[in-house]
Structure 1
Amino acid sequence: MSTGLLAALLAALLTGSATVLQALGARRAAVGHRPGEAAALAGTLRQWPFAIGVGMDMAGFGAELYALERLPLYVVEAALASALAVTAVGASRVLHIRLRRTEWAGVAAVSAGLCLLAVTAGRDGEGHGSEGLRLGTLIVAVLLLVAGWAAGRFGGRRAAPLLGLVAGLQFGVVGVAVRVLPALSPAELWAEPSAYAVAVAGLGGFAALTWAMQCGSVTAATAAMVLGETLGPAVVGVAVLGDHTRHGAVPLAVLGFAAAIAGALALARFGDAEQPAVSPTAGTGA
């Protein structure tokens, strides 16, 4: 339990810090170039903060995999949402983005919520789910690819939050699919549908989130992503996989989960740490 929780918190710390470093690299590469210019994008890849950020993202994913094997899904997903708190604090220091009072309250809510979840979390459910559930993760991942395309094509003004929700649901599928993997040996993974679900949902979620950032509000997209990524796996973990809290701790666990998610939603604009920096009101605390 303790090593799994440490791994989940490490994943949040790594991915939250990676966002700040990647934004710093993007800022440096953008000097003297128009936003989105090919030279600026190519220059970003040569910036050492961006490269370190990518490495930290990969390490964070490894820590997430470790946590998913040892903790209830609702704890891991809430911990991953807390990466926004890490990004917010890092952005205030490194990128000089001023946090509003509500955002400092969000950081406090995330911290308090995670403390409650750490105290109340029980063991993760036994077993890896049925063969139908493992196949279902792949089917859902493919269906979400179609939903993402439809949201981007026909969503209009609501495309950003819709794509953000699709991205969150895809990332949630990754969590469920990893949790139900029956084995990690290469000889067995090639025939395991949940292994393919990890790849399809991971790439699909990244593509949907990138599309959302390009076509609308970062805050709306990130808020929808947080909801999709946390609520879906939590329900599956409790209702299907048998995740549970310590005896008699359900109310406190629900309170902790709600506080962590509410805090993450308050920090949603940091889903893209670079976004506040280019706003005309950035740094004013408005």
Structure 2
Amino acid sequence: MSFGLLAALAAALLTGSATVLQAVGARRAAAGRRPGGAAALAGAFRQWPFLAGVGMDMLGFGAELLALDRLPLYEVEAVLASALAVTAVGASRVLNVRLRRGEWAGVAAVCVGLCVLAVSAGRDGPGHGTPALRLGVLLVAVLLIGAGWVVVRFGGSRRAPLLGLVAGLQFGVIGVAVRVLPDAGLPGLLTEPAAYAVAFAGLGGFAALTWAMQNGSVTAATAAMVLGETLGPAVVGVLLLGDHTRHDFEPLAVAGFAAAVFGALTLARFGDAERPATAGAAP
């Protein structure tokens, strides 16, 4: 197994384990506060489970950067989708959530899909991103921040999945921005749009995901986040950056990618850190 794949799996393990901790802290902070408000977001930083989850996410991001330096973009994003499998197993242990056969099948689908992707993946394409693309990722990050604000104000009952989608798209922007970031020293990075895209997308995605966990179903938010974070960068990598699979392995790569994402979405409800309802509780 390559070092890049190990780094991607480590990132999935860290981020998947952080999901439950962050959800617990975010829900505690939101109690008695206006949904989507700045006070609820700031209050999350006073909850130790949330802070522990943030620390694990930062370590996971570092592992993701190592993986992006060695693997095709679509493969890294597909591996990161397996964080939901990690969350599923963690929830069954920590939150006493019983996994049914369908959920275990989802875990198996993710693992098999990742193995297929590891076998079929080729090298990164020759594309390193044009100046227009590097400016474009910054503009997308800024627009998504505005979209998140609109959802908080007017999202209604669909606020959680929409915020989850915004967060996933922002995290996908980070993956693309890191991939196209030119090798330049500190003075050059100060004028590099892709570097600012990483910062804006990181802050915007973090805020959107925290608000999503506070404002509704963490399950729906997690599923939408996986879609945005996985599919967006994969499309950009293949269409604009020249990522490819091994010769004649395209159908196998498509099947593995589909299996990994489908299995992850099957497990999306285990992003929820709520306690199971007690027996006999009122509906």
Provide the residue aligned with 1:163 in structure 2. 163
Matched, 1:99 2:96: no
Q: Contact between 2:151 and 2:162, CA under 8 Å: does it hold in 1?
A: yes
Q: Contact between 2:30 and 2:214, CA under 8 Å: does it hold in 1?
A: no
Q: Which runs of 5+ in 1 are unaligned?
A: none
TM-score, with length taken from structure 2: 0.87
> Residue by residue, what CA displacement relative to the aligned partner does 1:108-143 show, whole Å, maximum 9, x if unpaired?
111011000000000011242101100100000011
Provide the residue aligned with 1:5 in structure 2. 5
- The letter of the residue matching 1:159 is R
- The within-5 A match list for 1:132-211 is 132-183=132-183, 185-211=185-211
TM-score, with length taken from structure 1: 0.86
Of residues 266, 277, 281, the one that matches 1:280 is 277
Give the length in aligned residue pairs.
271
> Residue by residue, what CA displacement relative to the aligned partner does 1:219-255 show, whole Å, maximum 9, x if unpaired?
2211111111111101000000000001001111111
Q: Which moved more, 1:169-178 or 1:183-192?
A: 183-192
Provide the residue aligned with 2:37 in structure 1. none
Q: Percent identity?
A: 74
- The letter of the residue matching 1:7 is A
Deviation at 1:21, TM superposition (A): 5.0
> Structure 1 residues 64, 184: CA separation in 2 closer, same or farther (over 3 Å shift)?
farther
User: 2-side partners of 1:194 and 1:249: how far apart?
Assistant: 32
User: 1-side partners of 2:32 and 2:189: how far apart?
Assistant: 39
> Structure 1 residues 20, 166: CA separation in 2 closer, same or farther (over 3 Å shift)?
closer
> Residue by residue, what CA displacement relative to the aligned partner does 1:181-224 show, whole Å, maximum 9, x if unpaired?
00253222111110100010111111111222222222221111
Provide the residue aligned with 1:265 in structure 2. 265
Deviation at 1:54, TM superposition (A): 3.4
> Structure 1 residues 215, 70: CA separation in 2 closer, same or farther (over 3 Å shift)?
same
User: 2-side partners of 1:43 and 1:174: how far apart?
Assistant: 26
> Residue by residue, what CA displacement relative to the aligned partner does 1:31-85 show, whole Å, maximum 9, x if unpaired?
xx994689x967632x6xx655433222111010111121111111111110110
User: 2-side partners of 1:20 and 1:147: how far apart?
Assistant: 25
Of residues 24, 44, 58, the one that matches 2:47 is 44
> Residue by residue, what CA displacement relative to the aligned partner does 1:253-279 show, whole Å, maximum 9, x if unpaired?
11111111111111112224x22x2x4
User: 1-side partners of 2:154 and 2:54: how far apart?
Assistant: 32
Deviation at 1:93, TM superposition (A): 1.8
- The letter of the residue matching 1:12 is A
- The within-5 A match list for 1:230-245 is 230-245=230-245
Q: RMSD across aligned C-alpha pairs, in angstroms?
A: 2.5
> Residue by residue, what CA displacement relative to the aligned partner does 1:133-166 show, whole Å, maximum 9, x if unpaired?
0010000001111111112222222222221111
- The letter of the residue matching 2:277 is P
Q: Contact between 2:23 and 2:218, CA under 8 Å: does it hold in 1?
A: no
Provide the residue aligned with 2:15 in structure 1. 15
> Structure 1 residues 13, 205: CA separation in 2 closer, same or farther (over 3 Å shift)?
same
User: 1-side partners of 2:127 and 2:98: how far apart?
Assistant: 46
Q: Contact between 1:20 and 1:94, CA under 8 Å: does it hold in 2?
A: no
- The within-5 A match list for 1:56-67 is 56-67=56-67
Q: Which runs of 5+ in 2 are unaligned?
A: 34-39
Q: Any idea what SS the aligned residue of 2:254 has? A: helix
Q: Contact between 2:127 and 2:240, CA under 8 Å: does it hold in 1?
A: no
Provide the residue aligned with 2:229 in structure 1. 229
Q: Contact between 2:88 and 2:271, CA under 8 Å: does it hold in 1?
A: no
- The letter of the residue matching 1:44 is Q
Deviation at 1:17, TM superposition (A): 2.2
Q: Contact between 2:174 and 2:198, CA under 8 Å: does it hold in 1?
A: yes
